[in-house]
Structure 1
Amino acid sequence: MSSQPASQQKPQIQPCRYKTGKTLGAGSYSVVKECVHIDTGRYYAAKVINKRLMAGREHMVRNEIAVLKRVSVGHRNILTLVDYFETMNNLYLVTDLALGGELFDRICRKGSYYESDAADLIRATLSAVAYLHDHGIVHRDLKPENLLFRTPEDNADLLIADFGLSRIMDEEQFHVLTTTCGTPGYMAPEIFKKTGHGKPVDIWAIGVITYFLLCGYTPFDRDSNLEEMQAILAADYSFTPVEYWRNVSEPARDFIRRCLTIDPRTRMTAHQALQHPWIRADDPVSPEKTAGEGQDLLPTVKKNFNARRTLHKAIDTVRAINKLREGGGLMAAGQMDGAMSVDPKPKNEVVDGSKVLNDQGHATGEEAQGPQGNDADAMEIDSRGNARGQTEDQIRRQQQRINETVSGLWGKKG
Structure 2
Amino acid sequence: MGLHDLLSRQPESYVKKKEYSFHKTLGEGSFGVVRSALWKAAEPPINVAVKVISKKILKGHDEIVKDEMDVLRGLDQPHVVKFLDWFESKDKYYLVFEEATGGELFERILAKGRFTENDACQTIRAVLSAIQYLHHHNIVHRDIKPENILYRTKEEDANVVLVDFGIAAHLKDESEILTTVCGSFGYAAPEILAKKGHGKAVDMWSLGVITYTMLCGYTPFRSDDPATLAAETQRGKIEFHDRYWKNISAEAKDFVKSCLTVDPKKRITADEGIDHPWFTSHTAAPSSHDISAGLRENYRKRWKSAIAAVRASTKFKTFAALNASSSGNPSADVDGEQQQGQQGASQGKAASPFGGRRSPTDSHSSSVSNMDVFHAHSSSSSSEAPTPQHNDATQARAHDDEDADADADDDVWHETSQEGEGHTSSSSGIDKLKRGLEEVHLKSPPPSSSS
Shorter-chain TM band? 0.7 to 0.9
Deviation at 1:273, TM superposition (A): 0.6
Paired position in structure 2 for 1:226: 227
Of 273, 280, 283, 1:285 maps to 283
The code of the aligned residue for 1:295 comes to: H
> Which protein shows a greater Rg?
1
Deviation at 1:339, TM superposition (A): 6.3
Paired position in structure 1 for 2:199: 198
Whether the 8 Å CA contact 1:27–1:337 is kept in 2: the answer is no
TM-score by length of 1: 0.73
Of 290, 293, 310, 1:296 maps to 290
Q: Distance in 1 between matches of 2:420 and 2:130?
A: 42
Paired position in structure 1 for 2:106: 104
Q: Distance in 2 between matches of 1:165 and 1:340?
A: 27
Say which SS state the counterpart of residue 73 (structure 2) adopts.
Answer: helix
TM-score by length of 2: 0.67
The code of the aligned residue for 1:302 comes to: R
**1:144 equivalenced with 2:146 (yes/no):** yes
Deviation at 1:360, TM superposition (A): 9.3
Q: CA RMSD in A?
A: 3.8
Task: Count residues in correspondence.
Answer: 343
Q: Distance in 2 between matches of 1:62 and 1:276?
A: 36
Matches within 5 A, 1:164-175: 164-173=166-175, 175=176
Deviation at 1:294, TM superposition (A): 4.0
- CA, structure 1 residues 256+287, in 2 after alignment: closer, same or farther (shift >3 Å)? same
Paired position in structure 2 for 1:113: 115
- CA, structure 1 residues 177+309, in 2 after alignment: closer, same or farther (shift >3 Å)? same
Say which SS state the counterpart of residue 36 (structure 1) adopts.
Answer: strand
- CA, structure 1 residues 146+313, in 2 after alignment: closer, same or farther (shift >3 Å)? closer
Paired position in structure 2 for 1:186: 187
Deviation at 1:245, TM superposition (A): 1.8
- CA, structure 1 residues 202+172, in 2 after alignment: closer, same or farther (shift >3 Å)? closer
Paired position in structure 2 for 1:123: 125
Q: Distance in 2 between matches of 1:89 and 1:314?
A: 28
Which stretch of the first structure deviates more once superposed, 265-274 or 231-240?
231-240
Say which SS state the counterpart of residue 37 (structure 2) adopts.
Answer: strand
Whether the 8 Å CA contact 1:98–1:151 is kept in 2: the answer is yes
- CA, structure 1 residues 135+343, in 2 after alignment: closer, same or farther (shift >3 Å)? closer
Paired position in structure 1 for 2:65: 61
Q: Distance in 1 between matches of 2:188 and 2:218?
A: 15
The code of the aligned residue for 2:393 comes to: S
Higher RCO, 1 vs 2 (CA within 8 Å, ≥6 residues apart) = 2
Paired position in structure 1 for 2:177: 176
Whether the 8 Å CA contact 1:68–1:163 is kept in 2: the answer is yes
Paired position in structure 2 for 1:266: 266
Unaligned residue ranges in structure 1 (runs of 5+):
1-8, 317-327, 346-358, 362-380
Q: Distance in 2 between matches of 1:23 and 1:88?
A: 21
Identity %: 36
Q: Distance in 2 between matches of 1:194 and 1:404?
A: 27
The code of the aligned residue for 2:295 comes to: V
Whether the 8 Å CA contact 1:215–1:304 is kept in 2: the answer is no
CA displacement, residues 368-400 of structure 1 (integer Å, 9 cap, x when unaligned): xxxxxxxxxxxxx6334437799xxxx9xxx9x
Whether the 8 Å CA contact 2:10–2:90 is kept in 1: the answer is no
Q: Distance in 2 between matches of 1:66 and 1:244?
A: 42
- CA, structure 1 residues 388+191, in 2 after alignment: closer, same or farther (shift >3 Å)? closer
Of 71, 74, 79, 1:70 maps to 74
Say which SS state the counterpart of residue 85 (structure 2) adopts.
Answer: strand
- CA, structure 1 residues 244+225, in 2 after alignment: closer, same or farther (shift >3 Å)? same
Paired position in structure 2 for 1:250: 250
Matches within 5 A, 1:81-100: 81-100=83-102
Deviation at 1:32, TM superposition (A): 0.8
Paired position in structure 1 for 2:56: 52
Deviation at 1:101, TM superposition (A): 1.3
- CA, structure 1 residues 162+266, in 2 after alignment: closer, same or farther (shift >3 Å)? same
Deviation at 1:343, TM superposition (A): 9.7
Q: Distance in 2 between matches of 1:315 and 1:51?
A: 25
Say which SS state the counterpart of residue 34 (structure 1) adopts.
Answer: strand
Whether the 8 Å CA contact 1:307–1:409 is kept in 2: the answer is no
Deviation at 1:340, TM superposition (A): 8.6
Deviation at 1:178, TM superposition (A): 0.5
The code of the aligned residue for 2:284 comes to: S
**1:153 equivalenced with 2:155 (yes/no):** yes
Unaligned residue ranges in structure 2 (runs of 5+):
1-8, 311-342, 348-371, 377-385, 398-415, 446-451
Of 374, 379, 383, 2:421 maps to 383
Whether the 8 Å CA contact 2:10–2:89 is kept in 1: the answer is no
CA displacement, residues 306-359 of structure 1 (integer Å, 9 cap, x when unaligned): 35559979999xxxxxxxxxxx995998654766937999xxxxxxxxxxxxx8
